[in-house]
Amino acid sequence: MHRAAYAELGLDWTFDAVDVEPAGLGAWVERLDPTWRGLAVTAPHKRDALELADDVSDVAAAAGGANTLLLADGVVRADNTDVPGTLAALQEAGIADVPLVRVLGAGATASSVAHAVVGLGARRMELVVRDVARAETTAASARSAGLEVVVRSSDDPFVDVADLLVSTVPEDAAGARSHELVESAAAVFDVVYDPWPTRLLLAAQQADRPAVSGLDLLAHQAVLQLALMTGSRVEVDVLRDAALAELSAARDVP
């Protein structure tokens, strides 16, 4: 997506994926030379990105994680485009007024979701996790956004129909329960985009539920991320089409 945006904007920039060991992000950033403009940060580094930054945006601080590091004049600034990107993706799908939001998983992405859905009228969030004890950081972040939070074990049955179900867990975890999960919610958002399409997304579409994919989030947050890095905006469909083409090509490779 970033490469497609650079071509659209006429920029002679490069963008590459780099694997960094957990807890190794700070040392890796210190080795970068001044030609670097920024980093798109993925799990498991989103919370660590806050610790190494010289300056942190209000959104990133509130969400407890950053997916964007901006580098300029020796200063590292952390920002979060997952929060506004999530809101934009849900609004694009016509999803609004979601008082009860059920989230599978409790990582940094779940925290970003919490801060996004308050913009859609969310009042209560259920965090559904395998280990209840490990959800406190995300639960605290969601409460700071003004949400009532309940943490439930993934073994517990669903009692209420949620206005929105958000899955932040891997395909294997959500896909096996896709039909059950879809029946438990009025709308579905699966942040996973690889493999494409996910079983949860397909089940939601088959049940005629409003559905948002991880590809939608990826494109919307990237529009904002690119604007921070380049100072220019591109249309979301340019990025979404580029990502879909790459995923489709990868799927067709034997």
What topology does CATH give the domain 83-215? Rossmann fold (3.40.50)
Place of tokens 């997916």: 67
Task: Give the whole-angstrom CA distance, residue 112 versus residue 16.
Answer: 24
Place of tokens 């690119």: 226
Structure confidence at residue 254 (pLDDT)? 46
Which three-class secondary structure state does DSSP give residue 49? helix
pLDDT along the chain (254 residues), means of 10: 96 96 95 97 95 98 97 97 99 98 96 98 98 95 98 94 98 93 98 94 98 98 98 98 90 60
Q: What's at 93, amino acid-wise?
A: A
Strand 100-104 with 148-153, pairing: unpaired
CATH class of 2-80+225-252: alpha beta
Q: How many CB atoms lie within 10 A of CB 20?
A: 17
Strand 100-104 with 164-167, pairing: parallel
Which three-class secondary structure state does DSSP give residue 220? helix
Strand 68-72 with 211-213, pairing: unpaired
Structure confidence at residue 250 (pLDDT)? 77
Structure confidence at residue 248 (pLDDT)? 86
Q: List C-alpha distances in Å: 185 to 87, 127, 133, 181, 225.
A: 18, 14, 25, 7, 30
Let me know if the fold of 2-80+225-252 is the same as that of 83-215: yes
Domain range summary for the chain, segments of one domain joined by +: 2-80+225-252, 83-215
Q: Both tokens of residue 50?
A: 């806050």
DSSP assigned state of 235: -
What is the value of pTM for the model shown? 0.95
Instruction: Give the residue numbers annotated as catalytic, written as ranges.
Output: 46
Q: What's at 216, amino acid-wise?
A: D
Structure confidence at residue 1 (pLDDT)? 95
Structure confidence at residue 249 (pLDDT)? 82
| Three-state secondary structure of 56-120 | ECHHHHHHCCCCEEEEECCEEEEECCHHHHHHHHHHHCCCCCCCEEEEECCCHHHHHHHHHHHHH
Structure confidence at residue 251 (pLDDT)? 73
User: Could you tell me the strand order of the sheet in which 68-72 lies?
Assistant: 38-40, 68-72, 75-79, 55-56
Structure confidence at residue 8 (pLDDT)? 96
DSSP assigned state of 58: H
